[in-house]
Amino acid sequence: MRIFDPHIHMTSRTTDDYARMAAAGVRALVEPAFWLGQPRTSPGSFTDYFDSLIGWEPYRAAQFGIVHHATIALNPKEANDPRCRPVLDLLPRYLDKDRVVAVGEIGYDSITPEEDDVFERQLALAVEHDLPALVHTPHRDKATGTRRTLEVVAASGIAPERVAVDHLNEVTVGIVRDSGCWMGFSIYPETKMSPPRMVEILKRYGPERMLVNSAADWGVSDPLLTLETGTAMLAAGFTEDDVDRVLWRNPVEFYSQSGRLDLTGAGAGADQPTFAGSSIKRGGG
Ligand SMILES: [Zn+2]
């Protein structure tokens, strides 16, 4: 099984995770910019973080034969902090970088007027830079937040097939499907979506425009839940080709719209992940 995790925050994960992911078949991933865990106090905090997402983290991933791309944005939670807003002026410089394949995560967290403004401005940046957008939906008031999200996306003028609306569940999948946007599902160990629930959604709606991710971050999460979802799909009677479509070809198709997805080195060196001194291997061949 080859796996592309379209939404995972490797900055907050260890090399053990990279090794386990490589062994499980993860060959590529996209790391969306998100919050720090504690409040950022200045825009400079974003500069270092964004540089790490397009420099250090791809290098770390390559040791394990995993190709790393990023999405860049001011995330919805930090959109509410006036100390973070000036980062909007720094985004255009990052949105031109080779390894940046979308604007994201953008969208709503608490659905405030500040989030409205920042969401609209960043959708405009996606249009301007000819990039797809990765849109987070709120964990509270999900139905309301998702409807509002789709209205703002429609008003922005971005093509729906260039937008992935993420963190969906049984309640929100239908309206996103009808909008023409891609549907993202984050599979969690304890709460929210689980592999069996994801399989039921795939049975009902089919594999088209479906993205499955682990969204692993600082919290309790598991980077191998993509694999577990693929295994659950096979057990439920889906074919290997269905699994490959959902876990590999769909994310490739979505992020390829950036014109920047480069999968050279995906799976290279997965047998011998090393991360020490002179034995470091780049996954470039
Ligand atoms: Zn995320």
What digits encode the pLDDT tens for the residues 95-107? 999 999 999 999 9
User: What spacing in Å lies between the alpha carbon of 7 and ligand 1's midpoint?
Assistant: 6
Task: Tell me what pLDDT residue 108 has.
Answer: 97
pLDDT of residue 35: 92
Task: Give 264's DSSP letter.
Answer: T
Q: By the 8 A CB rule, do 119 and 153 touch?
A: no
d(Cα 109, Cα 107) in Å, to the nearest integer?
7
Q: Please, which pLDDT band fits residue 264 given cuts at 50, 70 and 90?
A: very high
Which sequence spans correspond to the domains of the chain?
3-257
Compute the distance from residue 188 Cα to the ligand 1 centre, in Å: 12
CA dihedral over 51, 225, 167, 38, signed as positive or negative:
negative
Percent of the chain clearing pLDDT 70 (strictly above): 94
CA of 29 to the centre of ligand 1 (A): 13
For the cut 60, the answer to whether the pLDDT of residue 274 exceeds it is: no
C-alpha 277 to ligand 1 mean position (Å): 31
Mean pLDDT score, 144-161: 97
64 Cα–ligand 1 center, Å: 22
User: 214 C-alpha vs ligand 1 centroid, how far in Å?
Assistant: 9
Q: How far is the centre of ligand 1, averaged over its atoms, from the C-alpha of 73 (Å)? A: 12
Q: How confident is the model at residue 190 (pLDDT cuts 50, 70, 90)?
A: confident
Q: What is the pTM of this model?
A: 0.93
Distance 278 CA to ligand 1 centre (A): 33
Q: Which tens digit of pLDDT belongs to each residue from 194-217?
A: 999 999 999 999 999 999 999 999
5/224 Cα distance (integer angstroms):
9
- For residue 281, pLDDT over 60 is answered with no
How far apart, in whole angstroms, are the C-alpha atoms of residue 26 and residue 15? 14
CATH number of 3-257: 3.20.20.140
Asked whether residue 273 carries a pLDDT value surpassing 50, the answer given is no
Find the 167 Cα to ligand 1 centroid distance in Å.
9
Which one-letter amino acid corresponds to residue 162? Answer: R
Mean pLDDT estimate for the chain: 93
Please compute, for residue 75, the number of CA atoms within 13 A of its CA located in the half-sphere on the CB side.
20
Q: How confident is the model at residue 282 (pLDDT cuts 50, 70, 90)?
A: very low
> 248-263, pLDDT tens digit by residue?
999 999 999 999 999 9
Confidence of residue 269 (pLDDT cuts 50, 70, 90): low
- Gap from CA of 135 to ligand 1 centroid (Å): 9
Specify the residue for token string 């409040």. Answer: 39
**Alpha carbon of 15 to ligand 1 centroid (Å):** 19
Check pLDDT > 60 for residue 285: no
- In which band, very low, low, confident or very high, does the pLDDT at 140 lie, cut at 50, 70 and 90? confident
Check pLDDT > 50 for residue 226.
Answer: yes
The predicted model gives 90-97 an average pLDDT of 98
**How far does the centroid of ligand 1 lie from the alpha carbon of residue 226, in Å?**
15
CA of 6 to the centre of ligand 1 (A): 10
**How far is ligand 1, taken at its centre, from the CA of residue 105, in Å?**
7
Q: How remote is the CA of residue 139 from the centroid of ligand 1, in Å? A: 12
Using the mean position of ligand 1's atoms as its centre, give its distance from the Cα of residue 28 in Å: 16
Considering only CA atoms, which of 272, 263, 284, 249 is closest in space to residue 3? 249
136: closest CA among 103, 167, 171, 176? 167
| Beta strands at 3-5 and 26-32: parallel, antiparallel or unpaired | parallel
How many angstroms separate the alpha carbon of residue 244 from the centre of ligand 1?
23
Q: How far is the CA of 34 from the centre of ligand 1 (A)?
A: 6
Please give the distance, rounded to the nearest whole angstrom, from the Cα atom of residue 78 to the centre of ligand 1: 13
- Looking at residues 64-79, what average pLDDT do you find? 97
- Cα 8 to middle of ligand 1, angstroms: 6
